[in-house]
Amino acid sequence: MPATGWAQVANAPDATATTPPGHAATAAPQTGDQDIVVTARKRAETLLDVPIAATAISGNTLTERGINSVREAAALTPGLNIASDGSGRAFVSIRGVGVTLVQSVQPGVGLFINGIYQPNTSYLNNPLLDVDRIEVLRGPQGTLYG
């Protein structure tokens, strides 16, 4: 079974955000001050309760360490490598599984921003703006994200 990775960049929530029609609102789990809440399995859970190898980097950590791009944040994530070529393309791999230059092959790492799949990785070279957290999952997420 091939291993695939999943990475998500979540923007800070809008103060006027509402639940879309047809989607039930779910209550966030009760957490302490230091608990990290992630949405790795499409529901709010603490990082300790997620049964998947995951890394979460908060927006505060990004600011405190002066991290301005997803490429720089990769240094805080074990097993995540982001390389780029001279044309601005970014190549993402998690645990050695990643994208290829073959256009007809689906990449081994799925990238999502606010839950929406992003097939183009060139934005990873751009500066981060208003990011709430970065979540990186390592392992087979095909059952959850297809």
Per-10-residue mean pLDDT of the chain, 146 residues long, equals 49 40 41 71 86 88 91 88 78 78 69 80 80 84 64
Question: What's domain 5-13+35-145's superfamily in CATH?
Answer: TonB-dependent receptor, plug domain (2.170.130.10)
pLDDT at 21: 40
pLDDT at 2: 44
| Cβ-Cβ contacts under 8 Å for 114 (sequence gap 6 or more) | 9, 10, 11
pLDDT at 143: 62
pLDDT at 66: 93
pLDDT at 1: 42
pLDDT at 146: 60
pLDDT at 9: 55
CA 91 to chain centroid, in Å, comes to 15
pLDDT at 145: 67
